[in-house]
Structure 1
């Protein structure tokens, strides 16, 4: 029996020996490094040599030196599989992956590029380079094994080659942010790409309807069609794709559509329709989107009541989206009061609707809130005094254009991160909250058009980041304080104190201290906005919040939906300021709007106003100014609005340039003025203003002295008489001295 068992074991061992040998051989072989193929190494080096790369061609200087700088044919790293950005198959040595994103590449890509000989490529990323506005080469179609292709933000232009559609194995395709890129047919591009999971064509000009065929891409996970010029009806079937998590069709104003009924099985996490023409009602079934993390429907045409799943119950525990971070319902026609979202909310924007009711104190439980915008609705009541509890996270607070009343809560605790506070156009009363002095990062403060009753907040001068201060149309009073307070703020360039009861003289120190008005970069045409990035569902979401305001501009009240960085405005009108206007006001050479009307200002119009070459509107009306209108003002070639009516000005109205366009109303109520456009003609002795060219005047910075022909003649005559008398005396004395000598 024992011998039989030994026989069986021997037989088994005979079978196991070849197996063990094969395993050992494979293990030994796997430990041997597999070098890349010479032809692929050569192709990579040729691709490297076909482009320039230096620090100036980098999107980000931190990307330098680029990955390709490590590619060499001599030295230690001669195997291309060890080069930065190169991935090889461990068994075959073929190059299967190439990541040259942000590699400072500059130059045109041609269809005969050596890149297209790498036929084993599976993943290719060339994003964030500069391909010099060249077209996307048709040679990409030769890389038939590609599953991942990223050409975003790489300065390609022209038509997208239709043969990209033959890459039927693609699961990821990103051609976004190539702003000169065009696509003739979206349907032609995607009809063969049935395996797509991620498709991004942001800011590619498509200018066509969205094809129904997109609703058949059952693997689709993300779809980005932002700013593509899409139009027509959006296929509702796309919303029901079984794997779609992130859908963004932002900024396609001619794209119409409606929201279908949603089921609880929907995996949607991010839904962004902002800036489209979607309309109808928000369906109550939108509450079934259990995974929803961000919803943007701003600037659409949705109407009706907030769905019951989102509003009539104010308790946040009943809110359907427990992980919501971003809720943007701005600029629709929605009614009723939305429910307070869950504590996870970071962005809560419901401005420009028809929402009404009071703000629940539960809003103070949103401890992670970054942006809160309830502006331009019909909210009423007082504000919860607990608002200061989340000032350490809150950056944007916009409540303007509602019916709130009572006192403004103490908004800013120490360590506040507030950047924008706009509570204008309400009915707030009482004192300004002194806690505003804790808002060390505050850039915008707008408390205009309320019923506040307090002295000038000179303590705001400690806010070094403050750029815009609007306190117009309140009951504020008293002197504006030391010129070294708010006027010395290093970044302040929009100041509106109009329609209050401020008093005192506008001494030269105010305008001498205003440093920022002297250094604005006239070439900076970016907009004033708050920018932040938010991590949501594994995605980085960028939040842009442009600042808007209502001010008096060029004689009428205007709402600025966006404000360029170089905009500079001083409005001190409708107060009780007195005294002369200092010549130092001419130092504020970046001003575009200046309004000192309806005060008690006296003296002459400063000659230095002619130095404000960017000035577009000047209003000095309803004061007690005297003397002539300086001809230097005709040099203000950007001046569109000018008003010096109802003063005590005299003499000839200057003419030339913009002054020939101003109407009678700009000069009315000055009995001593004459000349066009007034009907009163000047008498013969009136002298025309000297032209600005061909003569150089020496001006006194402190005084404005006027001459006429009577004074000049009197001076000549008196000088002559005195000269004769003095001359005779001197001559007699000289004769006596000569005789004695």
Structure 2
């Protein structure tokens, strides 16, 4: 090699791979010293026969380094791993090169690491999980020790590899939260070296067995009861069926058990689990718990920290909870617990409890208690869920530590206590669907951590106080008696995604200033006293992410807000790609605890709006839904042409206004429409053939207008009944009884609208008979083709008439 090459100090890429070269003069160290700007350095199969020089760690721009099959020996400099730009490192096939892996930082950009057939050894560091960009890790035929192997929370699919049986030193195997294919686990019992601490022929050293959130099938294998060293077992959220083998309940070292699944069932003796003296976590769901509900348990009863008994047919609170003073998580949701919440429940985890979920039961009261309102005593409580019971009386006051407080769907009465002003850490407050009333405390605006506020369907009155929190994501105060103006301070809530003000007594003009909110997706003002014309938006970027707007049943006047139509950019794209992990709109709130897996931080939104002519409650709003409801106002004049730009619309309702003019052909551009309501207006002329292009249309209502001419035939229009057209005396054709005259139409569905563009010669899509009478003569024009040709013939006939 000409040595001058190694003097090119600005060289950024050097590839000498697969050449029979030997570095002697200059040596590798001298080369690196001269080429300090290198980004890519490839020397695969070049005979270096030397240690790796430490000076390589000074190449701060280095992105790729390939030293495979180079005859390297000695200790690999660990400083090279710290190069902040290094993405590709290959050292494979250097059997005398020793080294170990350091602790990796989360900022490390490594994508490919190859150490196969080297002398690298030691423990694979847990921090290898920080390499978020890693695509390939090659460590075969090295001397690494692997005691923990975790594939959890990835996107692995297919069969769990049988080759895991070769990991003879493995003590921990994590496979949870993947999409492994349905299969049985019987092979695990036959793999004599899988997850063991020695070379014995069984799994007796297995301590953790975690395969939750997969698709494993069959019955829970009874041989798991032979794994006497198990301390943690999690089979939840698979496709197992049947009951729990009693052998599992006899495992002496169990500390954590999680058995949840839709197809699991049968009777389970809870007392069997309570004999496990080391048990601290127990999660069961879907079983019929059978145990003496009022049994007393002795001092050997395990001290639980986590207990979830969901959908287990409980009818009373398990009495053993009375002696559980170390509990942090308790969930008894979806049971049949009736009546009064016992007073002793407050002794349960009094200093430790973080989460209590008693939702979806038949609880009626807290009590009897001496104080009203009731102040709950758990000093560390972060999450309290009492929703969907039959609770009566005043609103219980949670401790100041609370982050999520949910009591929706009960029968609570009275007002919100001023003590709620002390909830400085609250993230989610849900008091919806109760009988609460009074004026909303002004201090609600001072809860600076508040992200979700749901007061829907109560009897609150007065004004909505200023809401200035910049962390608010959702506000629902619909179905109350609130009045006055919408507080202008909402424009400061820049994280707001959902604002539901419907069914109140607000009296205001259209709040176009809300268009500044960059994340607002849903705005409902329906059934209030909003009035006046909807003027121009404050900028062309107003409401950039708006998907749903409902201003129905108000007193808006003037033209439809065509200038706003031009700025609603999220509605203009058909088949808009949303987050495929979310089928429904959700607000992802903050996690208030390291026990985040047990805290609901994804809040679904609900909304009531008209769909297909029926008031519909969306308990969850589909993430892709795009809807505009401007019905039942006093909008006038023609439908603006620009409405055809909202190509992503699924629902459009402009019924019950005083609109006039034709149904525009641009509506045919709304090919995603499923519901179109034009009824109760003064629309005239014909229903255009272009509407046949809306192939997803399931609901169409043009009744009570002044429409004339033939009803389009074919495609979705063949599914609509008489009700879609009633009150239009000039309409004819199926499904109406009035037949069309031959002079009005002889139509077939049109071909693609692009057909015939650029040509004046007619296509064979439609036959239209135009009859014009001038004086005593009758002129009949047969036109085949598009509307442009028809218009040209019309002008010709008019000119001809004038000449006559």
Q: Distance in 1 between matches of 2:757 and 2:682?
A: 23
Asked if 2 retains the 8 angstrom alpha-carbon contact of 1:649 and 1:670, the reply is yes
1:130 CA displacement: 6.8
Aligned with residue 282 of structure 1, among 316, 335, 341: 341
Partner residue in 2 for 1:242: 302
C-alpha change, 1:312 and 1:593, in structure 2 (3 Å) is farther
Aligned with residue 463 of structure 2, among 402, 407, 430: 407
1:513 CA displacement: 2.3
Q: Distance in 1 between matches of 2:795 and 2:719?
A: 43
Asked if 2 retains the 8 angstrom alpha-carbon contact of 1:653 and 1:673, the reply is yes
Q: Deviations over 1:409-455 (max 9, x none)?
A: 11225xx2000000000001111111111111000000000011111
1:624 CA displacement: 1.0
Is 1:713 the counterpart of 2:775? The answer is no
SS at match of 1:488: coil
Q: Which has the higher contact order (CA 8 A, sep 6+)?
A: 1
Asked if 2 retains the 8 angstrom alpha-carbon contact of 1:116 and 1:142, the reply is no
Partner residue in 1 for 2:729: 671
SS at match of 2:250: coil
1:187 CA displacement: 2.9
Is 1:351 the counterpart of 2:395? The answer is no
C-alpha change, 1:443 and 1:358, in structure 2 (3 Å) is same
Q: Distance in 2 between matches of 1:395 and 1:287?
A: 28
Asked if 2 retains the 8 angstrom alpha-carbon contact of 1:443 and 1:466, the reply is yes
* Structural mapping, 1:568-607, within 5 Å: 568-607=626-665
Q: Distance in 1 between matches of 2:439 and 2:655?
A: 35
C-alpha change, 1:468 and 1:158, in structure 2 (3 Å) is same
Deviates more, 1:600-609 or 1:671-680: 671-680
SS at match of 2:668: helix
* Structural mapping, 1:480-629, within 5 Å: 480-483=534-537, 488-506=542-560, 508-519=562-573, 521=576, 524=580, 526-532=583-589, 534-536=591-593, 540-543=597-600, 544-629=602-687
Is 1:173 the counterpart of 2:227? The answer is no
How many residues are treated as equivalent by the alignment? 636
Q: Distance in 2 between matches of 1:211 and 1:233?
A: 5
Partner residue in 2 for 1:393: 449
C-alpha change, 1:384 and 1:723, in structure 2 (3 Å) is closer
1:362 CA displacement: 1.1
Partner residue in 1 for 2:205: 145
1:643 CA displacement: 1.2
C-alpha change, 1:173 and 1:64, in structure 2 (3 Å) is farther
Is 1:429 the counterpart of 2:483? The answer is yes
SS at match of 1:709: strand
1:161 CA displacement: 3.2
* TM-score using structure 2 length: 0.72
Q: Deviations over 1:212-249 (max 9, x none)?
A: 322332322112235xx435668748997531121124
1:485 CA displacement: 5.1
C-alpha change, 1:332 and 1:623, in structure 2 (3 Å) is same
* TM-score using structure 1 length: 0.77
Q: Distance in 2 between matches of 1:133 and 1:491?
A: 40
1:535 CA displacement: 4.2
Aligned with residue 696 of structure 2, among 634, 638, 662: 638
Asked if 1 retains the 8 angstrom alpha-carbon contact of 2:427 and 2:589, the reply is no
SS at match of 1:459: helix
1:481 CA displacement: 2.0
Q: Distance in 2 between matches of 1:503 and 1:491?
A: 25
Asked if 2 retains the 8 angstrom alpha-carbon contact of 1:234 and 1:256, the reply is no
1:127 CA displacement: 4.8
Q: Distance in 1 between matches of 2:207 and 2:125?
A: 21
Partner residue in 2 for 1:479: 533
Partner residue in 2 for 1:214: 273
Q: Deviations over 1:151-203 (max 9, x none)?
A: 445665555432121011212223345x34x2544134513313211112344
Asked if 1 retains the 8 angstrom alpha-carbon contact of 2:703 and 2:724, the reply is yes
1:393 CA displacement: 0.2
Deviates more, 1:125-134 or 1:281-290: 125-134
C-alpha change, 1:84 and 1:132, in structure 2 (3 Å) is farther
C-alpha change, 1:103 and 1:426, in structure 2 (3 Å) is closer
Partner residue in 2 for 1:41: none
Partner residue in 2 for 1:329: 386
Asked if 2 retains the 8 angstrom alpha-carbon contact of 1:598 and 1:623, the reply is yes
1:74 CA displacement: 2.6
Asked if 1 retains the 8 angstrom alpha-carbon contact of 2:383 and 2:599, the reply is no
Q: Distance in 1 between matches of 2:560 and 2:712?
A: 26
Asked if 1 retains the 8 angstrom alpha-carbon contact of 2:521 and 2:546, the reply is yes
Structure 1 stretches of 5 or more lacking a match?
1-60, 87-92, 701-705, 727-741
Aligned with residue 354 of structure 2, among 278, 283, 293: 293
Asked if 1 retains the 8 angstrom alpha-carbon contact of 2:276 and 2:302, the reply is no
Q: Deviations over 1:650-685 (max 9, x none)?
A: 111222233233222221211211223323333332
Q: Distance in 1 between matches of 2:504 and 2:269?
A: 51
Asked if 2 retains the 8 angstrom alpha-carbon contact of 1:461 and 1:488, the reply is yes
C-alpha change, 1:699 and 1:633, in structure 2 (3 Å) is farther
Q: Distance in 2 between matches of 1:124 and 1:630?
A: 64
C-alpha change, 1:506 and 1:147, in structure 2 (3 Å) is same
Q: Deviations over 1:77-101 (max 9, x none)?
A: 34xx434369xxxxxx997932444
Q: Distance in 1 between matches of 2:418 and 2:233?
A: 46
Asked if 2 retains the 8 angstrom alpha-carbon contact of 1:176 and 1:204, the reply is no
Q: Distance in 2 between matches of 1:683 and 1:130?
A: 62
Q: Distance in 1 between matches of 2:400 and 2:443?
A: 15
Q: Distance in 2 between matches of 1:237 and 1:175?
A: 29
Partner residue in 2 for 1:652: 710
Q: Distance in 1 between matches of 2:793 and 2:123?
A: 95
Is 1:662 the counterpart of 2:720? The answer is yes
Q: Distance in 1 between matches of 2:107 and 2:769?
A: 65
Q: Distance in 2 between matches of 1:718 and 1:608?
A: 23
SS at match of 1:534: coil
1:456 CA displacement: 1.0
SS at match of 1:295: strand
Q: Deviations over 1:703-736 (max 9, x none)?
A: xxx983227738979969989999xxxxxxxxxx
SS at match of 1:589: coil
Partner residue in 2 for 1:51: none
C-alpha change, 1:66 and 1:115, in structure 2 (3 Å) is farther
Asked if 1 retains the 8 angstrom alpha-carbon contact of 2:668 and 2:690, the reply is yes
Q: Distance in 2 between matches of 1:723 and 1:304?
A: 84
Asked if 2 retains the 8 angstrom alpha-carbon contact of 1:116 and 1:143, the reply is no
